[in-house]
Structure 1
Amino acid sequence: MTLGKDDIGHHISQQYNQELENLRSHVLHMGGVVERQIADAISALEDGDTQLAASVVGGDLQVNALELNLDEECSRILARRQPAAGDLRLIFAVIKTVTDLERIGDQAERVARTVLELANVEPGRSRPTMRHMGDLARRLLNKALDAFARMDVAAALEVEREDLAVDKEYEAILRQLMTYMMEDPRTITWALNLIWAARALERIGDHSKNIAEYVIYLVQGKDVRHVSIEERERQVQGDMPAQPPTV
């Protein structure tokens, strides 16, 4: 059964309706906190701002606390309401989404720790910029959260496709840093730290793609993991309502 946004939160119990709506709102709040962590981590990396980096590292505790609170909230609803059908899919999607958001927070912390580790390292050459890759990863998370908020399968599919751009950026940065290491062994420690930071940004894209997949599962009940983008688009679009003809 395909689920629409209006199909969730319509029960005889107004309290139950509010619990489900609160759950969705709290997920989006956590997503906003994580987005801010990513943005600050990227700025700290680009500017060498150790104070901002330390703030990101400390902020990971807030992300962890939000994860625990949402897990408890889901457990209470499962125990008290025994949800079925679309409501149960919502609970499962929330649990999985929260896990990925916490891991995205961990990746932002990893980027910030790289800034602290490189604070006293002088590579003797210009640092490759990761601003564009970081912005792509952050926008990917924003789109995934927007798809979750609107239960928009088409937007979720866009996230799937756009993750490829993040992967290409990662590969380009990796090639550049490997070239530095081969040309000058003194840059190895410096370059390896940046590779870990680039890898963290690439993983943020992967986790955002996971969230988009949960949206598809929530709305259409389809598990599109481990299949090609082309195949998942065929599966999903086959269940999407036809668009009205343009006038």
Structure 2
Amino acid sequence: MPRESYQEKLDALREDVLYMSEVVLDRVRMGQEALQQKDEQLAQDVIDNDYEINQLYLDLEQDCVNLLALQQPVAGDLRFIAASFKIITDLERIADLATNLGEYTLEADRDVFPEVDAQEIGDAVVEMVEDAMDAYAEEDVDACFEIAERDDEVDAMCADASDTVMRDLIEREATTAADDEDIEQLMTDVSRLLLTIRDLERIGDHAVNIAARTLYMVENDDELIY
């Protein structure tokens, strides 16, 4: 295969990975909006269209395999293909978490913890993924480290939100007489919100993974890989 054609295929892979990230982030935003607005139709759309992300992943996985097989890459090209493959894996898992948000929306019938701002956490992790993909596109090493540092802030936000839920739950149990049915419903609500917080935190973790693979791709530096 001529070198020019091979480079064109590498460039196309990068563009396709960036396109996949745009589709995935759109799904996350849809999941957030569905959860916030309790929009069951939007939630169902997120769930039903997950197959599109899965197909994108499979197509790009095959592209990576073909690039490895057609011309045995070395050094920078090899790291680029390997990093791209790991990044599409993270993107596919982010899409799965967006699907979870859709499912939580269908299960929810009330908002019992309005003081917990899951939307703020969601906005923060979406921005992290956006910036991580920009770092991948531009091979921005400094941005990779900055994204990893921001993950600590997201972890703190998630910990605070979880603590708020648990404190509220304890106070309700101490001050409110409730029958078994009410308690069961409350525990279901608590579980769903804690799962939402956990899934948003995981999206932030995947953003760090993307930054880590980008750093390795550009600098052959595995400092952020864990």
Give me the TM-score of the superposition, normalised by structure 1: 0.83
Note the C-alpha offset of 1:15.
1.0
1:206 positional shift: 0.1
1:226 Cα shift? 5.9
User: Are 1:88 and 2:78 an aligned pair?
Assistant: yes
Equivalent residue, structure 1, for 2:217: 218
Q: What is the 5 A alignment of 1:131-150?
A: 131-150=119-138
CA separation of 1:14/1:199 partners in 2, compared to 1, >3 Å: closer, same or farther?
Answer: same
Are 1:191 and 2:163 matched, yes or no?
no
Counterpart AA for 1:48: K
Alpha carbons of structure 1 residues 126 and 38: separation in structure 2 relative to 1, 3 Å? same
Q: Is 1:35 matched up with 2:25? A: yes
What fraction of aligned residue pairs are identical, expressed as a percent?
Answer: 34
CA distance in 2, matches of 1:59, 1:168: 32
Structure-2 change in CA distance of 1:86 and 1:37 (3 Å): same
**Cα gap change, 1:102/1:125 in structure 2, threshold over 3 Å: closer, same or farther?**
closer
Which of 140, 143, 154 matches 1:155?
143
Alpha-carbon deviations, 1:91-133, whole Å to 9, x = none? 1101100110001111111111100111xx3466646321110
Aligned match of 1:203: 202
Q: In structure 2, what is the Cα distance between the partners aligned to 1:199 and 1:212?
A: 20
Asked if 1:130 corresponds to 2:145, the answer is: no
Displacement after TM superposition at 1:191 (Å) = 1.2
Task: Report the residue type matching 2:101 in the other structure.
Answer: V
Aligned length: 215
Q: Which runs of 5+ in 2 are unaligned?
A: 174-182
RMSD: 1.7
One-letter amino acid of the counterpart of residue 192, structure 1: S
Structure 1, residues 49-79: CA drift from partner, whole Å, max 9, x if none? 1111111112211111111001000111111
Q: 1:176 aligns with which of 156, 159, 164?
A: 164
One-letter amino acid of the counterpart of residue 95, structure 1: F
Deviations 1:138-184 (A, max 9, x none): 00000000000000001111111111121111111101111233224
Q: Do the aligned partners of 2:87 and 2:213 also contact (CA within 8 Å) in 1?
A: yes
- Partner of 2:49, secondary structure, is helix
Contact 2:212–2:225, Cα closer than 8 Å, also in 1: no
127 and 79 in structure 1: CA distance in 2 versus 1, 3 angstrom threshold: same
By how many angstroms is 1:208 displaced? 0.4
**Among residues 58, 61, 73, which one is paired with 1:68 in the alignment?**
58
Larger helix proportion, structure 1 or 2? 2
Per the alignment, residue 69 of structure 2 pairs with: 79
Query: Which of residues 89, 94, 107 is equivalent to 1:104?
Result: 94
- Cα distance in 2 between the residues matched to 1:29 and 1:43: 21
Summarize deviations over 1:5-37 as a string: whole Å, max 9, x none: xxxxxx962211110000000000000011101
Q: Secondary structure at the match of 1:158?
A: helix
State the 1:136 CA deviation: 0.1
The residue type equivalent to 1:178 in the other structure is M
Q: Distance in 2 between matches of 1:137 and 1:177?
A: 20
Residue segments in structure 1 that go unaligned for 5+ positions in a row: 1-10, 228-247
